[in-house]
Amino acid sequence: MTTWKDWESKASSETKKRTLSSLSKVSLEGIEVKPLYTEKDLQKYSGQLLQLPGFYPFVRGPRATMYANRPWTIRQYAGFGSAKASNHFYHECLKAGQHGLSVAFDLPTHRGYDSDNPRVTGDVGKAGVAIDSVLDMKVLFEQIPLDKVSVSMTMNGAVLPILASFIVAAEESGVTQGQLSGTIQNDILKEFMVRNTYIYPPLASMRIVADIIEYIAKEMPKFNSISISGYHIHEAGADLALELGLTLADGLEYVRTALKRNLKIDDFAPNLSFFFATGMNFYMEIAKLRAARLLWAQLMQSFSPKNEQSLMLRTHCQTSGWSLTAQDPHNNIIRTTIEAMASVFGGTQSLHTNSFDEALALPTPFSAKIARNTQLILQHETGIPNVIDPWAGSYFMENLTYQLAEKAQVILDRVEELGGMTKAIMQGIPKLWIEESAARRQAMIDGGEEVIVGVNIYISKEQAHVDVLDIDNEQVCREQIARLKELRATRDEEKTQKTLADLLQGATSGGNLLSLSIAAMRARASLGEVSAVLEKVFGRYQAEVSTVSGIYRSAYSNDAELDDFSREVDRFAEKAGRRPRIMIVKLGQDGHDRGAKVVATAFADLGFDVDVAPLFLTPAEAARQAIENDVHAIGVSTLAAGHKTLVPELMKNLKELGGEDIVVIVGGVIPIKDYEFLTAHGVAEIFGPGTRIIESAKKVLAAILKKL
């Protein structure tokens, strides 16, 4: 019989000059991944491995038959400009084999602003569909049977008017609340950590979450009251153990919040769902979903549920948007396929596959079709769904699952020591953990330690031509404003104001805010009006700006390159009398700030003086702050397609205020065809996704020198 020593001897001879230990890799999570696993690697966990799908702790899946009986739900996340355009797209998706709908809303909607609010002009319809009232919601779902098609809605900040308008639109089409199936995200805690589309402060926001859980538990038995999201934590830069630990800590906080309403655990726990990202670390992503079910079942067991479904973690997954590259974008089709396979092998209940062009712009119908067909091919051509959990019993996968669970448990314990997730977030600690992880990984990519094909290795000299989708922001604004005028002209104003007054009273002294919001939306209040009433009581939250330091430089592997650039910065300081000063800003309502925060901490580590502007500034506010801070440059980070409106407005305001000497650079998701437009408006440099930060820093420094 071949022994471990036989293998070790043979492997050692094969590696020749390399030592056998060098074949092991340590993951970002701090887990050693070896080239070979044997039964010895399962000895620690041997008592936990005799499990079956559909049984506690559900490591092998929440259902006994999984995809062998019914495949996962294909649920593509989409929303484009106007409700009418999105409705047309949804109908086409359903005809093409999609099973459920997943609605992407634009940023003004997320942030509780009507489309005619002057603060949001450049964002209307750009990163999702604009919804201002029940009228828009009725157009969005026209001729879609809401008693048969499940609907997932990614909404957190303005969750009350959005969910209320969905309920009212369904009622007016003949579908009762009890017939509705789907999910409302309603996960506000992760907004304060990473995505930033919050409106109200944490404690007030948690009251809204509890009101929704309570209402749905009583009135909407087929609807999931919350989707606890690790996706945005992952996309903001967390490693997989951190993503898993923080996501489950969020879930634990929501459970405790609902229990304080005197709900029993079985009243609402079966209607909790999760949402995870799936990136390119194939084996670790599979282990993450298996470990998530294990940990959640153990956490929920402590509440002594009687219903087994209260113990089950059910999840939607979405392939990573961050892993998509602007360079060689067709490679993204392969990346998405690999990530989709990891989601399926991990046992997801539904899946969204990203389109290959999303590092360049919003997806086109062509690219969305490829993304959807990726799932159809996995379901119908591969045979993968025929086996419930093909990884069970794997020496490697079982070991990895339990090791990752142990790492995530450490994160859970740290959050508990801080007093739970709400208190931890109010101290800003989880946000800093994520930013440290993101900075460390970016340094590894820039230094070549983490390989990305087409970005830092095998770089193509040819620029691939990709047609991109361009939303006519001005046209969407006109349509939305016209419908708002129709709404206000045709409603019973006295009745509307009465429901808004009732909502104000409920926010002040008690009452279920979802129930009161439904009454307001029935009376044709607008999303902005409902949000403004709640803002009177709760206020509008503004997070404190903080960044990490030293992480990028310490993780960067090429010290000589850093030292050379540091000398360039020193020479600049000698010439100018101070260090180069840059303000990093996100304009409009886009709160996705991973890129902005990573650039800010990296530029600071490279010797720049860096100001990070508060989120949600208008171009006029950003221009004024830049001049007041006497910066050499403004770095605009953009992901939400508003650059053609917001950047020219910034340039105009700088000129009016006498700031023509300030260099403006733009980075983020920008179609190549828009580069000439931005340059013509005075932008000095444009950096797409995947740009090495040290290369961008060199170009920014050179652009500033030209202005001196």
Kindly list the catalytic residues.
77, 231-232, 586, 590, 592
Q: 321: Cβ–Cβ under 8 A, 6 or more apart, which residues?
A: 235, 354, 358, 359
d(CA 549, CA 605): 7
CA distances from 592 to 587, 595, 639 (A): 11, 8, 7
Are residues 567 and 170 in contact, defined by beta-carbon separation less than 8 angstroms? no
Q: 50: Cβ–Cβ under 8 A, 6 or more apart, which residues?
A: none
Q: Write the DSSP assignment of 308-345 as a string of letters.
A: GGGG---EEEEE-STT--SSSTTHHHHHHHHHHHHHHH
d(CA 305, CA 176): 29
Residue 526's region, left for phi above 0, alpha for psi from -120 to 50, else beta, is beta
What is the distance between the terminal CA atoms of the chain, rounded to a whole angstrom?
76
Question: From start to end of 185-271, where are the E strands?
Answer: 223-224, 226-229
Q: Which of 294, 297, 293 is nearest to 311 (CA)?
A: 297
Supply 544's token pair. 């404190």
Q: How far is CA 312 from the centre of its chain?
A: 23
Largest CA-CA distance found in the chain, in angstroms, rounded:
87
> For 29, how many CA atoms within 13 A lie in the half-sphere containing its CB?
28
Residue 196's region, left for phi above 0, alpha for psi from -120 to 50, else beta, is left
